[in-house]
């Protein structure tokens, strides 16, 4: 077993006990990159000397008896829309080629404070939208890894790093996690500050994480959760105790609602049958729930908000580098410019209305279960797959977790998605652990 196969939690324990060094762990991850990344291309920037220098300095701190953080010596991948000081952050477009920020994003500062090694920058799609980057699926290089956090999902899936950061404005964490076969977690809206991250849509942009275990998901998210006065989506409150609560036994077996959503007809036969079998396995602990008709229009509301905001936030790129943008992104910007202020405000207003409906639902259920994606990752590298099973939960800002438990007819991963009540992320992770225990028991 290579050190690169270790989870962040496992590696952290070994580092804290002196059984391995951070330098040894980072070196193993770099060797793994050398072995597999030629076929996957998960990285937009990786400097081995820089990664090893961080690791050596962290090892000296531990050897000298200095305080160590919860991620001490652990390498992490950073999506290339998240600013890193003195390291290129090019946003997945030639328009920003050579862009090097002078300071870290809030989350990167948080990682460094926790002792993490900034391994490098992972590939994003063009400005975190739909036009693919160079990354291929680790399970089949002829298939998409999903997007827009394609490099982060692929890097974690192929054991190049144990953890990585991503973002989601529609399905950009859950979808690539499902296609690449890893855990992907999009916490509640506002849990993780977005300062220093590319702005696509202020009401929709959410940061999240990739990992190979739920324990690592909880650990990393707990490190990143917090308040930043410059991000109005965040709230000054005590961060949730994700790691300890997620590991607890619930007072009673969780009650789960199975939701097909209005796009159930997009799921392929294998995906439908897998979820039906899962429901049968869970038995009395799960029952089918039908969302109210008001959720049928979420896809239109989401499109108006996202595309109008893209038109606003990417105006400079459109004006100065229109010819360097993909047809897909140009189309989104041009449609976004056509929406009226009234249409935008009506769409935004639906978030609060749907929040009330979901609150009532989560008074009855600990979590909702629904597909992450319609099926296996599509063949071809010209698109990133269908995000529609993520749209409702992103629009409503509730936490969602991809759980990699299914395999399709071609041997590709298919995830299921567990959704929780807003700001009740710890209970969602605890429910996920209960579900996995039930399936593995």
The CATH number linked to 362 is: 3.90.1300.10
- The pTM of this model reads 0.98
Asked whether the bond before 77 is cis by omega within 30 degrees of 0, the reply is no
| Strand-pair partners of 76 | 118, 163
Residues in Cβ contact with 57 at an 8 Å cutoff, skipping those fewer than 6 apart? none
- What residues act catalytically? 79, 148, 172
Residues in Cβ contact with 293 at an 8 Å cutoff, skipping those fewer than 6 apart? none
CA 398 centroid distance within chain: 13
List per-residue pLDDT tens for the chain, 441 residues long: 899 999 999 999 999 999 999 999 999 999 999 999 999 999 999 999 999 999 999 999 999 999 999 999 999 999 999 999 999 999 999 999 999 999 999 999 999 999 999 999 999 999 999 999 999 999 999 999 999 999 999 999 999 999 999 999 999 999 999 999 999 999 999 999 999 999 999 999 999 999 999 999 999 999 999 999 999 999 999 888 999 999 999 999 999 999 999 999 999 999 999 999 999 999 999 999 999 999 999 999 999 999 999 999 999 999 999 999 999 999 999 999 999 999 999 999 999 999 999 999 999 999 999 999 999 999 999 999 999 999 999 999 999 999 999 999 999 999 999 999 999 999 999 999 999 999 987
DSSP of 143-166: B---SSSHHHHHHHHTTS-SEEEE
Pair of tokens at residue 439: 């399936």
Helices and strands counted in the chain (H then E): 15, 11
Looking at the structure of the chain, the number of domains it has is 1
Residue 235 is part of which domain span? 1-441
Side-chain-facing half-sphere of 253: CA atoms under 13 Å: 10
């Amino acid at each position: 077993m290579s050190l690169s196969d270790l989870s962040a939690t496992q590696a952290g324990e070994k580092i804290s006990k002196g059984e391995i060094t951070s330098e040894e762990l980072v070196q193993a991850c770099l060797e793994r990159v050398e072995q597999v990344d030629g076929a996957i291309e998960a990285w937009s920037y990786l400097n081995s000397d820089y990664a090893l220098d961080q690791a050596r300095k962290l090892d000296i701190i531990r050897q000298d008896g200095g305080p160590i953080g919860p991620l001490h010596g652990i390498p992490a991948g950073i999506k290339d829309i998240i600013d890193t000081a003195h390291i290129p952050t090019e946003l997945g477009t030639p328009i920003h080629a050579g862009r090097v920020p002078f300071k870290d994003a809030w989350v990167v500062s948080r990682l460094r404070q926790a002792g993490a090694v900034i391994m490098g920058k992972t590939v994003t799609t063009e400005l975190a939208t739909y036009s693919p980057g160079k990354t291929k699926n680790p399970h089949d290089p002829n298939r998409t890894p999903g997007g827009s956090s394609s490099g982060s999902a692929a890097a974690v899936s192929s054991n190049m790093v144990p953890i990585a950061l991503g973002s989601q404005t529609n399905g950009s964490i859950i979808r690539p996690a499902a296609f690449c076969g890893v855990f992907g977690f999009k916490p509640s809206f506002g849990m993780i500050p977005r300062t220093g991250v590319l702005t696509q849509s202020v009401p929709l942009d959410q940061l999240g994480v990739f990992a190979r275990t739920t324990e690592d998901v909880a650990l990393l998210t707990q490190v990143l959760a917090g308040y930043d006065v410059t991000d109005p989506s965040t709230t000054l409150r005590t961060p949730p105790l994700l790691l300890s609560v997620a590991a607890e036994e619930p007072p009673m077996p969780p009650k789960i609602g199975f939701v097909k959503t209005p796009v159930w007809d997009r799921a392929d036969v294998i995906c439908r049958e897998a979820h039906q079998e899962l429901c049968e396995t869970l038995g009395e602990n799960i029952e089918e729930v039908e969302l109210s008709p008001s959720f049928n229009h979420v896809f239109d509301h989401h499109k108006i908000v996202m595309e109008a905001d893209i038109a606003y936030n990417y105006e400079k790129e459109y004006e100065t580098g229109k010819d360097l943008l993909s047809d897909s992104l140009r189309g989104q910007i041009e449609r976004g410019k056509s929406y009226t202020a009234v249409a935008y405000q009506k769409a935004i207003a639906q978030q609060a209305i749907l929040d009330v409906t979901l609150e009532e639902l989560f008074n009855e259920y600990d979590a909702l279960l629904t597909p992450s994606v319609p099926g296996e990752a599509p063949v071809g590298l010209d698109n990133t797959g269908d995000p529609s099973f993520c749209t409702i939960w992103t629009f409503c800002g509730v936490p969602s977790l991809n759980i990699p438990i299914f395999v399709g007819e071609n041997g590709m991963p298919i995830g299921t998605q567990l959704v929780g009540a807003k700001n009740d992320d710890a209970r969602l992770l605890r429910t996920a652990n209960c579900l996995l225990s039930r399936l593995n028991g």
